[in-house]
Structure 1
Amino acid sequence: MALTVEKYEVTSVDRAEVLRYMGYAGQKLTDELDACIDEVVARCLDVARPAGSWEVFDVAGREPTKEDLPAVQLAGTSLQLVGESMKKHMAGAVAVGVMAVTAGMGIERELRRLSLTDPVAQVVFDAAGTATVERAADACEASIVATAAERGLYTNFRFSPGYGDMPLATQPVLLSTLDAQRRLGITLSKSLLMTPTKSVTAVIGLFAEPQPSSHASCADCLCRDFCRILRTGRPCWKR
């Protein structure tokens, strides 16, 4: 299929998620901080420009690397998903959705400004930016789930480089495969960290049969707000 680039409308984030990313553990919030959180989250959503690039590739093989590490090869690309984590996550997968998402440079610029002017607001804004890009990733995942459903396939959950033993060294080829620098403005440092920092890359397996982590209902699905399948009256888990 052709490379897909999308913009996402993220109009809200879960306040509890923002607090979690702030390291909140049940402490009493002052009225001042409580108001600051609402104000900063609103500002974050205002400057964010969430967008994503993704494509689904057939699995071409599962030959180990020269170092004898498990690997999944994707058709038409030089991208290999290496490691025991990928071996397990993609066991039985017939295709893989590959995605890159960013909340945009507006958040990056505001983080830099706040680092010089308001350290407390910076902490809140950083957490809000993380929550925002994760919502954008939910939207991108919803597009991949919809494509899987069109093919009569089921998905598992998204898995990012750096999790388990999936190496961060996957990043350059993954981003190149999605043309993410040109299409999304995502660049990599020498240490393989992305700019804008509020960016996410991930892979999702597509399977002929439902997986333990397949979407089993709409009620608690993180993709629900962005779901294209739900409009048809036949959700992805009811086929």
Structure 2
Amino acid sequence: MIELEKLNRNEAVRYLGGAGIRLNYRMDVLMDECEKAVLEKASPKYLYVEKDLPCPQIMGGKDIESHLNGCEKAIVMCATVGSEVDKLIRISQISDMARAVVMDSLASVAVEQVCNAFDKIIAEKYSDYNMTFRFSPGYGDYPIELQKIILQMLDAPKKIGLCTNDNFLLTPTKSVTAVLGLSKNPIERKKRGCAICNMRETCKFRRKGLHCGV
């Protein structure tokens, strides 16, 4: 079980900077209020399954082949902070867009922290393996359609209410699907970045000469 006690404020501020929002006293108070609301409504959940490689179900494109090169196993996972956080954001969008933007940034931080906690759980369970970083559908040429296959593999709609819409986007939105590779041998430390990101052409950070930190 993963619990969120606080959210990484520095990460949230970086997201806000990418959206062109500057911090001041009022914004700091608003972040306190929004962090409290997100933590109250967040319901972190995750699922995963271990797969021996090769596993045709999770393959598609050259980037995932490269990512899993040399690995004997893969961990197929999903995580979410739940639908109540989505509701919070939607309500704020109707009444107060500044609050909605702050809420959204903190919710993004929340799901990333859940994923980071999951990484630690897997690293401890498979301590005799070397582990790659999470690689999600939509990165590079890894088809976003794989979202649906991963969720079906994990029975996520039934178990934790995590689904995709007709465009293969996750609902609740503050959710993640990904594949991690496990190898008995040392793994080349590849960097995540703009080159493999499916948002690289429209990224708000790149337009400002920044990056999201991934």
What's the TM-score, normalizing by structure 2?
A: 0.83
RMSD (Å), alpha carbons: 1.7
How far apart are residue 24 of structure 1 and its match?
A: 4.4
Structure 2 residue runs of 5 or longer lacking an equivalent are 191-214
Name the CA distance, whole Å, in 2 between partners of 1:27 and 1:185.
33
Verify: 1:159 aligned to 2:153, yes or no.
no
How far apart are residue 80 of structure 1 and its match?
A: 2.7
The match for 1:204 is 180
**How many pairs does the alignment contain?**
190
The match for 2:58 is 80
User: Does 1 or 2 have the higher relative contact order (CA < 8 Å, sep 6+)?
Assistant: 2
Secondary structure, in 3 states, of the residue corresponding to 1:37?
helix
Secondary structure, in 3 states, of the residue corresponding to 1:88?
helix
Secondary structure, in 3 states, of the residue corresponding to 2:117?
helix
Name the CA distance, whole Å, in 2 between partners of 1:155 and 1:17.
24
Structure 2 CA distance for partners of 1:16 and 1:103, relative to 1, 3 Å: same
Deviating above 4 A after TM superposition, structure 1's stretches of 4 or more consecutive aligned residues are 24-28
Contact 1:160 1:203 in 2 (8 A): yes
The match for 2:205 is none
Instruction: Mark the structure with the bigger radius of gyration.
Output: 1
Structure 2 CA distance for partners of 1:36 and 1:99, relative to 1, 3 Å: same
Structure 2 CA distance for partners of 1:25 and 1:213, relative to 1, 3 Å: same
Q: Deviations over 1:12-42 (max 9, x none)?
A: 2211111122234897522111211122112
By percentage of residues, which structure has more helix? Answer: 2
Show the 5 A alignment for 1:100-119.
100-119=78-97
The match for 1:181 is 157
Contact 2:16 2:22 in 1 (8 A): no
Name the CA distance, whole Å, in 2 between partners of 1:187 and 1:131.
20
Secondary structure, in 3 states, of the residue corresponding to 2:17?
coil
The match for 1:141 is 119
Secondary structure, in 3 states, of the residue corresponding to 1:200?
strand
Contact 1:96 1:204 in 2 (8 A): yes
Structure 1 residue runs of 5 or longer lacking an equivalent are 1-6, 62-72, 215-239
Name the CA distance, whole Å, in 1 between partners of 2:19 and 2:169.
28
Secondary structure, in 3 states, of the residue corresponding to 1:39?
helix
Matched to 2:80, the amino acid is T
Structure 2 CA distance for partners of 1:127 and 1:25, relative to 1, 3 Å: closer
Name the CA distance, whole Å, in 1 between partners of 2:83 and 2:22.
33
By percentage of residues, which structure has more strand? Answer: 1
Q: Is the deviation greater in 31-40 or in 188-197?
A: 31-40
The match for 1:234 is none
